[in-house]
Structure 1
Amino acid sequence: MGYRELAAPAAPGLACAWVQTVPASAGRLVQRVVPDGCVDLIWWSPDAELMVAGPDTGPMPTPLAPGTTLVGVRFAPGRAVPALGVPADALRDARVPLGDLWGASAVRLAETLAEAVPEPSPAARQADALIAAVAERVRAAEPVDPIVQPVVAGLASGASVRDVADAVGLGERQLRRRALASFGYGPKVLQRVLRFQRALREARAGRPLAEVALAAGYADQPHMSHEVRELAGVPLSALLTPSS
């Protein structure tokens, strides 16, 4: 499958845009989508449908038919809520039509993407149109919850939930409530997802798995193996290609 990430769009909170194509000659495929703390807005051919994906708490097997093209924009953890207009826990482990959230503007955007000219690269043109629409929506939206950045930084560093709550001036119960709204997860789950994603990056960079476990913040390699299987459903070694 042809998967490639594009440069991060010039709008706050957008991590990247991406394009994935399945050759018409390919058999029917099932792609394993694993938790990353992000929310993706995806245009999906041949149905010309716009969907909102995630945040996920476990593996999400996704069938891909031959000839399918997907064009997506990815929100960084905690950044999607103002633009989409619903709390993140309402989208957890879900795939929701964008029209349910944006109404007629989502229909118009889907039509614009479907009408992209076939040459030289329809996916690139669709990505440009999707990026522009999402960036405009982000710039017009309310600011994200101010705890988002320090919570992500603190949890990614390995700080305890209590220490992160103290750092942002909240009790642990308040932190959980606001984390659910912003990230779709409580802080403990978010920390597990961020640690898993760091392990995945380190492993894909070629580091031995014992080193990956320590670098990502696990107690040891068996601890990492257990958590990776819980979140991804397969060993880390099965996820070492970027489209896994």
Structure 2
Amino acid sequence: MRERSLVRAEHDLPVLVTVAASTPSARGRPRRRRALASPHRLTELVGRRVPCDARSMSAGETPYTEIAPPADLAPYVDRLWLRTTMRSGGTHRVLPDGCVDILIHADRAAAELVGSKICALEIPEEPAELVAVRFRPGTATAITGCALAELTDRSVDLADLGIAGELADRVVDAGARPDPGLLRLSAKLPLSASAHARLSALIAWLRQRLTDAEPPDPLVVRAVSLLSAGDARVDDVTDAVGVSRQYLARAFRREVGITPKQLARIARMQRAAAVLRRGADLARLAAELGYFDQSHLSHELRELAGITPAAVAAERPIALSHLFGTAL
């Protein structure tokens, strides 16, 4: 289960902190999209959405921790998150969720933009000190200016995009010299003063980016909301938003990085995995979620999550995105 605590901190920090515990998501003028330089495979990254045992963490480590964004960032940001680990060996599974993340490697002052995934990845466990932001599907382009179709299943150094400025250095420096007020509060808060200072620096950068950013495409945002329910048909969504299937697919590739059909499959897979973890009957679940049959559900789990239905229930719980109603 997840342990949750509400905190009211200074410096306009978010208020909901979720820690993975013992068992462990009318447009203005046309905008020029920046091309992505030197993309590399996402499997070279470490430390995204990592379920862990908080009791096994060493001194100086932070379990994977999610923080709800301030209200002014909530239309764009799903979660801020962080994790510090000194361990090596093993892997963790990362499921597709339609989101784009910026990862700041505070241990080496680097920042990366990580695109949407269309299938699960096994990420090697390596020492890392991460501070990150996960954008809601369809909103990252407004802040980064990047055409996300070029970033699917890939990542790119923010320095290659010319959008990071001194983001990584700013976050690292903030953690090294936290405000005295945060130092006084640190004994009462779930996170260290350095972690809060780094999150504050990231929030300040996001707000700076939003000062001249265009709003997300409302058509895409509406379609994402409908598809995230997990049982919506793409044709029904195109009818609801009033565009053709081809038009919506082009908009999704640009603004989300995957197609509407791919997001619909991901949403349904996430919901199926959440229910299977509670021991649901496979045939009944397949019917309830609109799969053709039990075999269809099994195929989708293998293709998108990389595991069988039996493995979903048997293995150490995997991290699911709250965006798709997986807590239901």
Q: How far apart in 2 are the matches of 1:179 and 1:159?
A: 16
1:38 to 92, 96, 99: 99
Distance 1:154 1:241, change over 3 A: closer
Aligned to 1:228: 301
Distance 1:174 1:134, change over 3 A: same
* C-alpha distance after superposition, 1:46-74 (max 9, x if no partner): 222111112011123333323x1111111
Alpha-carbon shift at residue 239 of structure 1 (Å): 6.3
Amino acid at match of 1:63: P
Aligned to 1:13: 76
Alpha-carbon shift at residue 181 of structure 1 (Å): 0.9
1:1-244 equivalences in 2 (<5 Å): 1=52, 2-10=63-71, 11=73, 12-22=75-85, 24=86, 26-66=87-127, 68-103=128-163, 106-115=164-173, 116-117=175-176, 121=192, 122-157=194-229, 158-203=231-276, 206=278, 208=280, 210=282, 213-214=286-287, 216-235=289-308, 236-237=312-313, 238=315, 240-242=317-319
Residue 232 of structure 2 contacts residue 264 of structure 2 at CA under 8 Å; is this kept in 1?
no
Q: How far apart in 2 are the matches of 1:63 and 1:240?
A: 17
TM-score by length of 2: 0.65
Percent of matched pairs sharing the same residue: 37
Secondary structure of the equivalent of 2:210? helix
Alpha-carbon shift at residue 243 of structure 1 (Å): 8.2
| Structure whose CA Rg is larger | 2
Residue 92 of structure 2 contacts residue 123 of structure 2 at CA under 8 Å; is this kept in 1?
yes
Distance 1:123 1:218, change over 3 A: farther
Residue 33 of structure 1 contacts residue 59 of structure 1 at CA under 8 Å; is this kept in 2?
yes
TM-score by length of 1: 0.85
Alpha-carbon shift at residue 207 of structure 1 (Å): 5.4
Secondary structure of the equivalent of 2:123? strand
- Residue range with higher mean Cα deviation, 152-161 or 10-19: 152-161
Amino acid at match of 1:36: D
Secondary structure of the equivalent of 2:146? coil
Q: How far apart in 2 are the matches of 1:222 and 1:139?
A: 49
Secondary structure of the equivalent of 2:297? helix
Q: How far apart in 2 are the matches of 1:130 and 1:171?
A: 38
Q: How many residues align?
A: 238
Distance 1:207 1:182, change over 3 A: farther
Alpha-carbon shift at residue 165 of structure 1 (Å): 1.4
Alpha-carbon shift at residue 18 of structure 1 (Å): 0.8
More helix by share: 1
Amino acid at match of 2:102: L
Alpha-carbon shift at residue 102 of structure 1 (Å): 3.5
Distance 1:135 1:217, change over 3 A: farther
Secondary structure of the equivalent of 1:140? coil
Residue 156 of structure 1 contacts residue 194 of structure 1 at CA under 8 Å; is this kept in 2?
yes
